[in-house]
Structure 1
Amino acid sequence: RGMAIPDETSPYGVRLLIRDYPYAVDGLVIWWAIERWVREYLDIYYPNDGDLRRDVELQAWWKEVREEAHGDLKDREWWPKMETVQELAKTCTTIIWVASALHAAVNFGQYPYAGYLPNRPTVSRRPMPEPGSKEYAMLEAGQKEADLVYIHTITSQWQTILGISLIEILSKHASDEVYLGQRDEPDRWTSDARALEAFKRFGSRLIEIEDRITKMNGDSASRT
């Protein structure tokens, strides 16, 4: 939405409007890898659009998503009709992206910034100072007085301890976490060799992307 435009000459199908945007640059490559994996997988079981339209369970699932889960938005024109494999691929890619790469980007990096609670207070215990009030006069009196007003307005000490603890927990990876492109026991997921090979290719692409991003992060020339 305003960050990129369709571009058939791009390997990823879109062109970023902001060049110096590392999150978008790296994220676009991961999105492409997810989309490619999803399409390879779907092509195994839906050789054509007709097969997808005849899948009663899939169509029932999509009807439930649109009409029950999002009943307030069910009549919006932007909903995919779920009549083509491409529509299903884009939908699945979006779901996987939000639950994996997007969530990781906004979640695991919270603590370095939000761990210092004045950067992102969880509550405001007082209304904003009005002109003519004692607090407003303190804001104008100097930095020390303004800091006191701020400290007495934002999260209390006890709430700060709870908030920072929660942010620290949210920012940590679980010891048994399984990452995108990995499965502890892939053979228990499916015995279809075609799907397993496609998933293996997906994992290999993600490893290549990870190595590339790691090298760029360590290269000062890549930082602006």
Structure 2
Amino acid sequence: MKGTHPKELAPAAAGGACRRLRLSGLLALAGATLFAAGEAKAAITCTRTLVADVVALDQPLMFNRLGAQNINGMMFALEEDVVDAAGRTLAAGGAKSPGNVRLRDDKRPRPLVLRIAAGECLTVRLTNLLAPTANARTASPPEMHIDEQVADRHVGFFAQGMQAVNSIADLGDNVGRNMSSLVAPGNSRTYTLYGEREGTFAITSYGATFGGEGTAGNTTSGLFGQLTVLPPGGAPIATS
């Protein structure tokens, strides 16, 4: 027995109508996604922008009074806390020569800590002053020598969980087919990040993701820090 269908729901026509409905739904979904993406981009409005002039440098690290140390340590520091070979701070015009800078004598090597409030943006002007060659310092006696710096000397400023303001290049990494936003020794680059919500975010360098501790890269040599986003209206302090 042949089935009967109204003309508007004949099998071929019904299939075409379903396809049109699915296509319309997909187009609507795509439009909503683009609209939401546009809204998300437009939502990044900085209530205030703070600027941090940051340096990546080689710095011997002393871990305790028993002699545990890393002669080939590394760290992030503010320009005002770093001096050139003549003892002049970089913030005061000291020479930015890769491998020829160190932490001020009155500063203790420790992870960099930056702070902003939720809704604010942070512009990081990063300068790579690492020596061109990894593990340039030699300890004596040889048993004290540590050479776990990764050979690649590029650095980046990657704060996991923060939002890029201008483009993906603000994330300070080198992933997939995206353009690298890392910095070679002697060069500088600017990254702008948005504090969407309060919390604590780890700062690492994606200049090297493999090292003496698996995928930790230069983190185990001291090249890491912390970005704290305070509640809205909180009073940030540049570093500790």
- TM-score, normalised to structure 2's length? 0.20
Please tell me whether Structure 1 or Structure 2 has the larger radius of gyration of its CA atoms: 2
The structure with the largest helix share of the pair is: 1
The structure with the largest strand share of the pair is: 2
